[in-house]
A = this chain, B = another copy of it.
Amino acid sequence: MAIRINLKGFIEFSSDLSQVAQDIADAIKEANKTFKEVGEEGAEIERYSIDRKRLKLELRSGRVLRAHDALLRLKNQLARRLGPKRVGVRKVFIEDLEVIISEGHVGESKAKELLKGAAEAREIEGNLVLRFRDLTDRDIRERTVDRAIKLSLLREEKVEAKAEKLAPFGAVIKRGAEKPFKLSTRVASEAERLGWIKRYPARGQWIYTPPMAALLRAISELLIERVAKPLGFKEWMFPRLMPIEVFKKLSTYVEHLPEGVFYVCVPPRDPSKFDEFKREYRLRRELRTDLLKEILSEPQYVLEAIQCTPFYQFFSGEIVRLEDLPVKAYDLLGGWTWRNEAGGVEGIVRTNEFWRLEMVFLSSPEE
């Protein structure tokens, strides 16, 4: 019994409820029976009253059938029961929702930091009490409360992983004969000295001249012919401009590394929006990035930082037959990959703009 929830709210209907008072009484009785089927961790409607078009409610629950979810269920049952009588549901509203966590919580100050703007957090006699106000139907469906509860709990220990069939990350599986180093200087500085590469005027970007481009092409062809193709990988070509709605699915990046990617803004199609910007340039040869920022949309894309995104997106919403698996892909034609991290890695090895061949596949769990 680590979590208790107390809810105070109402369901608003399209007309006065006095005509259907008996139906409501019946529905609540019935709901209370099913809500308790899961036992202690279920929900209970403690109190209700009718106030013209509003059905006012107080619920309490444990962690399994949560009070706010029970409220939505009740709403659906009432909608089904009262619909034929021409009484429709207009709105669900929670004025006050209190979550009391008695064990394994993160404590008041951490909870305050994590839930800022969504809920109040207070510690009372060892319990962490979260208080939400004015929640709508949408808030419940979007699971804001549940996510807040999850963030307020200490992470449970991970379950022991099953014995690994794959080699652990970083393990050396086979070692070839030692090769002599032919170059004792740093690759990037030597390439720059030879004119094989030249800096582009921004951090972490290079122009590769013919010798370096030839070297890259040779290496990539070796990788394709000797590694990718023998392993059954086929060449695809993936976009590099990742729409924000695709980025939204990369929760690791959004939650933990939003500072690691480049964001792309789209200009309005109406050229007159640029009048002042153009005038400033024409007159003063100044390119006013402050004006640009005003003119541009909010970011609509992210530059590809991990290359495999479009491969997974390709299968989004698709059902794939097991006999069509595995699907194995690599992409070189799409070009560069970008990460906002220049300086972290030496020379041309990994810069803001870097080139790589990634092999990704989709297969059955057994494989």
Contacts and interface: CB of A to CB of B under 8 A. Distances in A.
Nearest to A289: B298
Interface string A265-284: 11111110110111111111
Nearest to A352: B241
Given A214-B235, A241-B352, A266-B340, A198 B314 contact: yes
A207 B239 contact: yes
Q: How many copies does the complex hold?
A: 2
Nearest to A247: B287
A90 interface: no
Interface residues of A, number: 97
Interface of A (DSSP majority class): mixed
A241 B276 CA distance: 25
A235 B259 contact: no
Contact of A207 (B206, B216, B237, B265): B237
Interface in A245-275: 245-248, 251, 254-256, 258-271, 273-274
A338 interface: yes
A202 B276 CA distance: 29
A217 B284 contact: no
B263 A264 contact: yes
B281 A255 contact: yes
Given A301-B202, A338-B241, A117 B279 contact: yes
A200 B279 contact: no
A310 interface: yes
A315 to B, nearest CB: 10
Contacts of A298: 289-290, 292-293
B265 A299 contact: yes
B287 A259 contact: no
A147 B201 contact: no
Contacts of A264: 262-265, 303
A238 interface: yes
Given A292-B263, A296-B263, A287 B338 contact: no
A86 interface: no
A142 B284 contact: yes
10 contacts: A117-B276, A143-B285, A147-B285, A200-B246, A205-B239, A210-B329, A258-B277, A259-B269, A259-B271, A333-B335
